[in-house]
Structure 1
Amino acid sequence: MSSPVEIPFKSFIQLKPEQSTAIYLQIVFEFIKAIQTGFLPEGTKLPGTRILCKLLSVNRNTLIKAFQDLESQGWIETLPNKGTFILSQHKQKSKEEFIVTPNQNASEINTGFTFKRSAILENPTETSTLPYQFNDGLPDLRLVQNEILARLYVSKLKRQKTSKTYEQIQIQSHLNFKTHFSNYLNLTRGLRISTSSLLTTSSHEISLYVVTKALISPGDKVVVASPGYFISNMTLTNTGAQIITIPVDKDGIDTNRLKEICKESEIRALYLTSNYHYPTTITLSAKRRMEILELANQYGFVILEDDYDFDFHYDNNPILPLAAFDSHQKVVYIGSFGKSLPSGFSYGFVAASPEFITELEKHQNILEPGIDVIKEQVLTEWINEGEVHRLSKKNKKIYKERRDYFVSLLNEKLSAKIKFKVPLRGLAVWIEWLDKFNLITLQKECAANGLFLPKTILYQTKDLTATRLGFGHLEKEEMEKAVAILCQSIDGI
């Protein structure tokens, strides 16, 4: 891990002395938010209090008081003669069945040479072998049609006898795939794009990475929602961007606050998940959609619209993305396709102006120089024959039934302790706890009872105690047991 002094604390720890909230509490809340969004990964070593108080321009006693509060809540730990660390999981989860992806301390490893180490690009993923688990909304891989895809893949391999060179096959196959895929996006999402306006990548994360690489420069101001998506926040921070947070209410991001920010500063980009806000599952209202497009045109910022879960909507009238109404080419539309397909068959994509796509292809040629011709041919056939539509329709029916059953369990078992809205799309429910308690304590209690709650689904600030509970990967019996353990653990604390 790089020297903690190099971490751009002031880009995500924003203190406001003019507010009535005590400074030490602001520090506590800002650090918790930074940990939850991935800015401060587990195992990160913090600077000494003397250094950090200078970086944040606060009194040392105030900072010490804040650190004492953070340590008592389980967010940080101080090791004698070593320093203060974002709480590493190996101490609080020492059971063999509760394993976290290791983050080794770089200072303990002798590599023989020096290199740049990122304090931002850490993997926040936690894994566990506990019998029951919640996540942030992943599909059920048990529903995947492996046999059909395997047959198609093998048949395409057997038919590859041709006089054409591999380069000719690759170019022709890729263009054919992009043609069918762009038509599919135009049909399902109301876009009006051609192949020149489309970039396909191996994953949603790669799409987001190449977009930020080409678009964001160090020091650029980027507005994101709070609470927001930890993966995108981590990717944006890695570009050197200055992150400005904006609140979310029942209609999506606060456009009045966005307008104020635009008047105060020159904004490079606005990142938002408009159709299904992560993590709250809120849909951006029609009025605010139009306001955001108008503001982007007026102030010249780019809208990074991340539609990560479009495939999972349960009404007959899916809400179209902002990109479908973008007449001024201010929207860069990032999405995913095939989340219900086997690993390796899903795609990420970017839809934007042809000139910007050409620039993105330069970065992709370094990251992903090869094209899986067979995979693209298989998916082209699936799209062309309507199999993708049939599979999507079948899966949506299953996931809708799971959502409805999960919601009924929450209403039956936890109605007196939570509030939530039934999501119209996606594979997770955002619940806000009516009582105030420490979510890390709940996590430990659940683990002791056999239920895994990763930190990435826990959200806690001064005014909010909330959890994003994914249901898509659970069958009815698994839901019942998971919710029962959750209730038991709540009673236990």
Structure 2
Amino acid sequence: MSSPVIFPFKSNIIIDRASSRHIYLQLCDQIIGFIKSGKLAPSTKLPGSRKLSEDLNIHRKTVVAAYDELMSQDWIQSIPAKGTFVNKNLPIINPKKITKSTNSLESKNSIGFRFKKRKHLIIKGLETIKATIKVDEGVPDHRLAPIEDIAKNYRNITNKKHHKELLTYGDTHGNIELRKVLVDYLNQSRGLKTSIENILITRGSQMGIYLASQLLLNDKKIVITGDTNYMTADNTFTEANGIIKRVSVDKQGINTKEIEEVCKKHTISAVYVTSHHHHPTTVTLSADRRMHLLDLAQRNNFAIIEDDYDYDFHYNNAPILPLASNDTHGNVIYIGGFTKIIAPALRIGYFVAPKEVVDEAARLRRILDRQGDTLLEQTLARMIINGDIQRHSNKVRKIYKERRDLFCGLLKEKLTDFFDFEIPKGGMAVWVQLKKPYNWDIVMTAALKRNIAFNPEWKRYDNNNSGHNGIRIGFAALNKKEIITVINVLESVMKSIQ
């Protein structure tokens, strides 16, 4: 390990006591920034909690909490009898500035022209299946949606005459007030350094993925994804005429060393990553791989499409800031939305990127969907300003954590002989692998006979045909009674097919 630290923390750490962000998280953010910028090199010794608390005039427990958080995110490590150090496994960064029928029915079904069929877009979902309980792949519980808050704010807006202007054509970039509000919301909650010109409002995050793929992947350009990946994203890239190259995903997330090897052989246009909770396996991209991926993007001039679909639902510790929070060279297109916070039907998302990219995406969006629902966007802006969204997010995060704990506890208690899984740190689903020689088709058929429906397209989780036998099982949209019923039915099914 290195010699004692000489970095002047006292003169470089700034604590804003008026900020709504906890002081220990402010301390975490700044230490992480020093590590990312190369000012704190790997193996650098950090000051003791007592010394740092005295220097910064904060409580020692605040420093301890900050160090605990940094250790949980693998930025630092504690060595007994020696002290606390910057993780030695992080890459070394050179310090730099953050720079014809008569029958009417037959006539309607006959086709008098040719059209293109897209077989890769055919997906059989749960919508048409009849069952008492439908187990999704990880969506919010619409029954918990803050419908009263939505209705109240919507009604207040529509009752004011000057808001009638929202009923005409507006900015293709989205409602101006929502974009203004999102600047503060995203900068504060996600550590972004963005402005209104960097934000495009979309119809959910899927539109953002579509726009990004259309801008980046035409003419058979290459996008890298994980060997397990969000299937709808894969379909979107295929639709954009892109070529998908896959790299492995392990417990630390997408393998950036393999990405580096692909870059040596091919010109890469984009890397798609769900960094916070990888879809479908739920693993979090490690700190060293985050830094490596950003460095690769800078050196190889490719875009990172960061789909942060469930940032707000992290249970074990504070959410890890997205790659976009440290994008100093304009490589990241950051995509997110409010569907997972509120309900699937609320189709409002955001596309965050350099201004020139946002403007081009807005031009493309114009021919796809002239603009969004300006009244609903204004409503959402009001709800953020009033704190309604934040309060609802905190409420459902607690509920979803309780449901995760119950689901995983029962799964471990009753079904460990049949399934392998790890408790996810966040999100709304568990990645469950069925042990061989059992088969999901048999399990799902038997469960459906007992009025429990699982995703019939389970094989789409195996994009690479590796035979991992895993699926996402959503717990967030199931209440306590439903979770118990699902686990009991699964137990009954597994015992019946042994």
Indicate if the aligned counterparts of 2:181 and 2:385 stay in contact, CA closer than 8 A. Answer: yes
Q: How high is the TM-score relative to the length of structure 2?
A: 0.73
Q: Which amino acid aligns with 1:466?
A: G
Matched, 1:492 2:496: yes
Deviation at 1:119, TM superposition (A): 2.2
Aligned to 1:185: 186
Q: Distance in 2 between matches of 1:116 and 1:341?
A: 35
Matched, 1:477 2:481: yes
Aligned to 1:310: 311
Deviation at 1:362, TM superposition (A): 0.3
Deviation at 1:402, TM superposition (A): 0.7
Aligned to 1:383: 384
Indicate if the aligned counterparts of 1:216 and 1:268 stay in contact, CA closer than 8 A. Answer: yes
Matched, 1:261 2:265: no
Indicate if the aligned counterparts of 1:133 and 1:482 stay in contact, CA closer than 8 A. Answer: no
Indicate if the aligned counterparts of 2:275 and 2:284 stay in contact, CA closer than 8 A. Answer: yes
Indicate if the aligned counterparts of 1:432 and 1:465 stay in contact, CA closer than 8 A. Answer: yes
SS at 2:175's partner residue?
helix
Matched, 1:407 2:411: no
1:107-152 Cα deviation digits (max 9, x unpaired): x963111122222233442322211221100111110121221122
Q: Distance in 1 between matches of 2:373 and 2:439?
A: 47
Q: Which amino acid aligns with 1:294?
A: D
Q: Distance in 1 between matches of 2:173 and 2:356?
A: 21
Match of 2:468 among 457, 464, 467: 464
Aligned to 2:120: 120
Aligned to 2:420: 419
SS at 1:278's partner residue?
coil
Deviation at 1:252, TM superposition (A): 0.7
Aligned to 2:432: 431
Aligned to 1:197: 198
Identity of counterpart residues, as a percentage? 33
Aligned to 1:65: none
Deviation at 1:170, TM superposition (A): 6.8
Distance 1:442 1:369, change over 3 A: same
Q: Distance in 2 between matches of 1:361 and 1:417?
A: 49
Q: Which amino acid aligns with 1:125?
A: G
Q: Distance in 2 between matches of 1:402 and 1:479?
A: 8
Aligned to 1:240: 241
Matched, 1:365 2:356: no
Deviation at 1:165, TM superposition (A): 8.9
Trace 1:203-242 onto structure 2 (pairs within 5 A).
203-242=204-243
Indicate if the aligned counterparts of 2:174 and 2:372 stay in contact, CA closer than 8 A. Answer: no
Deviation at 1:305, TM superposition (A): 0.9
Q: Which amino acid aligns with 1:478?
A: E
Root-mean-square deviation (CA, aligned residues, Å) is 2.3
Q: Distance in 2 between matches of 1:463 and 1:367?
A: 37
Aligned to 1:281: 282
Q: Distance in 2 between matches of 1:209 and 1:151?
A: 33
Aligned to 1:374: 375
Distance 1:172 1:326, change over 3 A: closer
Q: Which amino acid aligns with 1:476?
A: K
5+ long unaligned stretches in structure 2? 1-107
Aligned to 1:135: 136
Deviation at 1:342, TM superposition (A): 4.8
Distance 1:416 1:169, change over 3 A: closer
Q: Distance in 2 between matches of 1:167 and 1:148?
A: 25
Aligned to 1:15: none
Matched, 1:175 2:184: no
Q: Which amino acid aligns with 1:455?
A: P
1:314-349 Cα deviation digits (max 9, x unpaired): 244111111111111111111122434355534121
Q: Distance in 2 between matches of 1:470 and 1:165?
A: 37
Aligned to 1:455: 456
SS at 2:248's partner residue?
strand
Deviation at 1:423, TM superposition (A): 0.9
SS at 1:136's partner residue?
coil
Q: Which amino acid aligns with 2:337?
A: S
Q: Distance in 2 between matches of 1:265 and 1:199?
A: 31
Q: Which amino acid aligns with 1:328?
A: H
Aligned to 1:35: none
Deviation at 1:176, TM superposition (A): 1.8
SS at 1:469's partner residue?
strand
Indicate if the aligned counterparts of 2:172 and 2:362 stay in contact, CA closer than 8 A. Answer: no
Indicate if the aligned counterparts of 2:273 and 2:305 stay in contact, CA closer than 8 A. Answer: yes
1:338-395 Cα deviation digits (max 9, x unpaired): 4343555341211110000000000111222134332222211111121111111111
Distance 1:186 1:131, change over 3 A: same
Aligned to 1:42: none
Q: Distance in 2 between matches of 1:395 and 1:489?
A: 31
Q: Distance in 1 between matches of 2:286 and 2:162?
A: 53
Distance 1:240 1:393, change over 3 A: same
Indicate if the aligned counterparts of 1:189 and 1:320 stay in contact, CA closer than 8 A. Answer: yes
Q: Distance in 1 between matches of 2:179 and 2:277?
A: 26
Indicate if the aligned counterparts of 1:419 and 1:432 stay in contact, CA closer than 8 A. Answer: yes
